[in-house]
Amino acid sequence: GEEVAQTPKHLVRGEGQKAKLYCAPIKGHSYVFWYQQVLKNEFKFLISFQNENVFDETGMPKERFSAKCLPNSPCSLEIQATKLEDSAVYFCASSPLREGTNQPQHFGDGTRLSIL
Amino acid sequence: ILNVEQSPQSLHVQEGDSTNFTCSFPSSNFYALHWYRWETAKSPEALFVMTLNGDEKKKGRISATLNTKEGYSYLYIKGSQPEDSATYLCAFGSYNTDKLIFGTGTRLQVFP
């Protein structure tokens, strides 16, 4: 598609439940990025993929968070045993080229995760 | 720890005013500086990506400059319109990584 598509738009989970978010990058884009936006406007980098390979996961919490980008499937970000502090908007972005930081990243509308 | 600072945090201007805001970033290992325009509940929209010291880019009434030696970029909006109301985010990219470090944004409100 011509846009980054994130689903669902809003996800509500009880504390301790699992949450799974999806992202379909723009067709032809090899690079996918996940960001977490918690307070004010701070976008915190979580993980990046080159096709189905993890490229940089230095922002991912060591426990409970995992992500995948499998061929012919939307990418996913999964949070096990959610905590209140996981409440945030999770943005996915994609980029066409290898050197992602000198190309604009194309963002989806985000998934708002609310942990009750 | 890499810090990207934006100022001011928020700005209220009248329609027709020109305005500018600042993004400060580390001057070492610089690779690229991005500007995004973001309306709440929508996706951030890329405005500019700048890579060279002294770069100036323009898109309609919006322009940006880059100084990589001292680590700052300015975004200018000429003749602000109510539809310019949004949060403007800058993001820093360094060598050997694809991740962007975002500032906390400048929230602009333009009153008719």
Q: Closest partner residue to B104 among A42, A59, A110, by Cβ?
A: A42
pLDDT at A100: 56
Residues of A in contact with B55 (CB under 8 A): none
Q: Is the predicted pLDDT of residue A34 greater than 80, yes or no?
A: yes
- Is A45 close to B31, i.e. CB distance below 8 A? no
Q: Hey, is the C-beta of B107 within 8 angstroms of any chain A C-beta?
A: yes
CA geometry: angle A95, A49, B88, nearest 5 deg: 45
The per-residue pLDDT of chain A, averaged, comes to 92
Token couple for A3: 């846009």
Whether residue B104 and residue A4 make contact (CB cut-off 8 A), yes or no, is: no
How close A99 gets to chain B, by Cα (Å)? 7
What is the β-pairing status of strands A10-13 and A111-115?
A: parallel
Q: Please provide the distance, in angstroms rounded to a whole number, between the alpha carbons at the two ends of chain B.
A: 41
> What is the residue type of B67?
N
pLDDT of residue A99: 58
Quick check: B44 and A45 CB within 8 A?
no
- Residues A67, A46 contacting (CB under 8 angstroms): yes
- Cβ–Cβ under 8 Å, residues B95 and B28: no
* Cβ A68 vs Cβ A75: under 8 Å: yes
Instruction: Dump pLDDT digits (tens) for A72-90.
Output: 899 999 999 999 999 999 9
- CA proximity to A25, closest of A84, A72, A79, A60: A72
Q: Which of residues 72-91 of A touch B (CB under 8 A)?
A: 91
Is the minimum CB–CB distance between A107 and chain B shorter than 8 Å? yes
Query: Above 90 in pLDDT, residue A42?
Result: no
Contact B86, B37 (CB under 8 A): yes
Q: Nearest C-alpha of chain B: how many angstroms from A107?
A: 6
Q: What is the mean pLDDT of residues A38-43?
A: 79
Q: What is the pLDDT of residue B87?
A: 95
Residue by residue, pLDDT tens for chain B (112 residues) are 678 999 999 999 999 999 999 999 998 889 999 999 999 889 999 999 999 999 999 999 999 999 999 999 999 999 999 999 999 999 999 877 778 899 999 999 999 9
Q: In what order do the strands lie in the sheet with A65-68?
A: A5-7, A19-24, A75-79, A65-68
